[in-house]
């Protein structure tokens, strides 16, 4: 009798235990066990995530990520949570995220529906548009001005995909070159290998501002599309995503986003003290008012 009572009590305790404190799963469990969180960062994604002149990783996305890290620290009650920085490239970010090397990717990664089949994204932290930069002297204003010309975009980006589609749909007969990275795409335009460089406008502003003759270039008013940027995390990890999303929403609703945005887009930034001078776009202001993690460009119109 006594023995069966004990057994019953033990059985009850076993059932009750997980219900008391919610069991940690996925990334949160891993962070708690290791006491470290690993942030994947870019090396030259100005002003989102890049090395400054003292080889420190800084940027708009990094500031937001550190707020997420603070939220995780509070959530797990781990005051000495260590942050490890791990550089990633566009080719390594997926494998490193999948195999658990990095927990967050803080940079300028476009959130779209196709990519969501592989990874998750938190609340959008920037909205960019696909535009082109060209030499002022060539007087190219709209897409129709590029008819039959050679243009360049960066290989493997949503931008080159889009310009290819538009080229086919509207029969513009453009020759589209693929550059290895943004700097090289700009170089092709700078050296007249291509008439225009098609890319996210924010990156174009950064490249033009840092070029030898910033006043020689003009960025088109015509926008080909809208692209939301998101901080990347592992897919199917609702517990971690909830903490990260909460931290992002908190940043937006508390108004903390204002000084962070100003610091990176409306003030001189390292390493060369260039001011991008880019007020918050209407599309992004909407996201700040109504935070969303949608990967559908239509949600940002």
Q: Which residues of the shown chain bind another protein in the complex (CB under 8 A)?
A: 90-91, 94-95, 97-100, 114-115, 117-119, 150, 152, 155-158, 160-161, 164-165, 167-169, 175, 177-180, 184, 187-188, 191-193, 234-237
Contacts of 56 (CB under 8 A, 6+ apart): none
Give CA–CA dist 151/94, Å, rounded: 29
In the complex, minimum distance from the CB of residue 128 to another protein, in angstroms, rounded to a whole number:
16
Determine phi and psi for 225, rounding to 5 degrees: -170, 175
Give CA–CA dist 169/179, Å, rounded: 22
Q: Using the minimum distance from each CB to another protein, give the nearer residue, 114 or 258.
A: 114
- Closest by CA to 124, choosing from 285, 265, 299, 292, is 292
Q: Using the minimum distance from each CB to another protein, give the nearer residue, 95 or 238.
A: 95
In the complex, minimum distance from the CB of residue 292 to another protein, in angstroms, rounded to a whole number:
21
In the complex, minimum distance from the CB of residue 90 to another protein, in angstroms, rounded to a whole number:
6
What residues are paired with 130 via a beta bridge? 200
Q: Using the minimum distance from each CB to another protein, give the nearer residue, 52 or 184.
A: 184
In the complex, minimum distance from the CB of residue 93 to another protein, in angstroms, rounded to a whole number:
9
Q: Using the minimum distance from each CB to another protein, give the nearer residue, 70 or 192.
A: 192
DSSP strands (E only) in 248-297: 268-269, 274-275
What does the buried/exposed string (b/e) look like for 84-111 if buried means 16 or more CB atoms within 10 Å of the residue's CB? eeeebebeebeebbeeeebbbbbbbbbb
- Which spans in 210-256 are helix H? 238-253
Give CA–CA dist 171/299, Å, rounded: 28
Q: Which helix (H) or strand (E) holds 37?
A: strand 36-41
Q: Using the minimum distance from each CB to another protein, give the nearer residue, 203 or 276.
A: 203
In the complex, minimum distance from the CB of residue 242 to another protein, in angstroms, rounded to a whole number:
17
In the complex, minimum distance from the CB of residue 156 to another protein, in angstroms, rounded to a whole number:
3
Q: Using the minimum distance from each CB to another protein, give the nearer residue, 39 or 166.
A: 166
Tokens for 76? 């797990």
Q: Using the minimum distance from each CB to another protein, give the nearer residue, 88 or 269.
A: 88
Q: Are 110 and 225 in contact (CB under 8 A)?
A: no
In the complex, minimum distance from the CB of residue 160 to another protein, in angstroms, rounded to a whole number:
8
């Amino acid at each position: 009798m006594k023995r069966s009572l004990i057994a019953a009590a033990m059985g009850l305790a076993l059932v009750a235990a997980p219900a008391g404190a919610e069991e940690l799963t996925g990334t949160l469990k891993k962070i708690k066990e290791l006491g470290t969180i690993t942030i994947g960062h870019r090396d030259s994604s100005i002003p989102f995530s890049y090395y400054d002149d003292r080889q420190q990783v800084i940027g708009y996305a990094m500031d937001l990520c550190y707020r997420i890290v603070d939220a995780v620290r509070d959530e797990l009650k781990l005051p000495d949570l260590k942050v490890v920085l791990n550089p990633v490239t566009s080719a390594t970010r997926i494998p490193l995220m999948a195999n658990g090397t990095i927990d967050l990717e803080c940079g300028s990664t476009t959130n779209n529906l196709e990519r969501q089949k592989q990874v998750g994204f938190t609340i959008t932290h920037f909205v960019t548009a696909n535009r082109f930069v060209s030499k002022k002297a060539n007087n190219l204003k709209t897409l129709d001005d590029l008819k039959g010309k050679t243009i360049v975009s960066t290989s493997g980006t949503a931008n080159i995909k889009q310009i290819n589609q538009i080229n086919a749909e509207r029969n513009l007969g453009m020759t589209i070159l693929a550059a290895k990275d943004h700097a090289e795409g700009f170089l092709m335009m700078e050296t007249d290998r291509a008439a225009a460089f098609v890319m996210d406008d924010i990156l174009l502003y950064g490249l033009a501002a840092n070029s030898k003759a910033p006043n020689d270039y003009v960025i088109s008013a015509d926008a080909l599309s809208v692209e939301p940027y998101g901080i990347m995390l592992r897919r199917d990890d609702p517990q971690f995503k909830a903490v990260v999303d909460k931290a992002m929403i908190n940043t937006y609703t508390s108004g903390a986003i204002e000084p962070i945005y100003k610091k990176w887009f409306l003030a001189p930034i390292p390493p060369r003290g260039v001011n991008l001078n880019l007020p918050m776009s209407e599309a992004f202001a909407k996201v700040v008012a109504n935070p969303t993690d949608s990967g559908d460009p239509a949600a940002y119109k």
